[in-house]
Amino acid sequence: MEDTIVLYPSPGRGHLFSMVELGKQILEQHPSISITIIISAMPTESISIDDPYFSTLCNTNPFITLIHLPQVSLPPNTSFSPLDFVASFFELPELNNTNLHHTLLNLSKSSNIKALIIDFFCSAAFEFVSSRHNIPIYFFFTTGANGLPMFLHLPILDKIITKSLKDLDMIIDLHGMPKIPIKRGATGYF
């Protein structure tokens, strides 16, 4: 059995592409390991292995394998307002837990799974997988340069700000990113 590391990005091309790049970096450091990327997609998006990006990826990196999970549907009452859209990024991986479980079972028949690296938005997979599989699980935090200072500063903001962001009228000034104006009554900041 070959050793493999499984990568599980959240839905969305940006997270998928970042996870693919992580897989390439792992292969550079550990060429004897194969990479399996398990892909789930939003109901509103279509990601095909026939896409030129993915066909080129698989042709130039024979140690990277792509597996698509079956499409799942969000509950019928889901709207696509900005807040609901972000919430759906956490909900979809949870809806896919059973599919992920079966995929890992099938994969473990032919591969020795050394680790599962999951996207930050796929946190629902952590408990589900860890209780059913004996696989080390690691989180991969995909973000642009502006996201890192924000997430590093959130614990400090949590101690300083005692009200909900929707009740504030202020400017959040963090090192390494533009100032964020918070207007009372606005929604969809975080």
pLDDT score, position 164: 74
pLDDT average, residue stretch 72-86? 63
For residue 103, give both structure tokens.
């995929």
Residue 102: its pLDDT value, please?
93
pTM of the model: 0.75
Q: Which of 4, 7, 80, 63 is nearest to 40 (CA)?
A: 7
pLDDT at 185: 52
Task: Name the residue among 59, 48, 63 with its Cα closest to residue 16.
Answer: 48
For the chain, what's the residue count? 190
Q: What is the pLDDT of residues 105-134, one digit of tens each?
A: 999 999 999 999 999 888 888 888 878 888
Side chain identity, residue 41: A
Angle between helices 82-95 and 97-110 (to 10 degrees): 40
Catalytic residue status for 15: yes
- Average pLDDT (137-164) is 80
Contact 104, 129 (CB under 8 A): yes
Mean pLDDT across the stretch 137-153? Answer: 80
pLDDT of residue 85: 62
Please list, in sequence order, all residues whose beta carbon lies within 8 angstroms of the beta carbon of residue 127, skipping any fewer than 6 positions away: none
* Selected catalytic residue, list 3, 15, 50, 167: 15
- Catalytic site residue 119? yes
The highest-confidence range among 5-14, 29-38, 167-176, by mean pLDDT, is: 29-38
The H or E element that residue 38 is part of is strand 34-39
From the candidates 119, 133, 169, 175, give the one annotated as an active-site residue. Answer: 119
Local confidence band at 152 (pLDDT 50, 70, 90 cut-offs): confident
Q: For 2-140, give the CATH class.
A: alpha beta
pLDDT reported for residue 45: 62
**The one-letter amino acid at 190:** F
Beta strand pairing status for 34-39 and 2-8? parallel
Residue 35 has pLDDT above 60, yes or no: yes
User: Which residues in the chain are classed under CATH 3.40.50.2000?
Assistant: 2-140
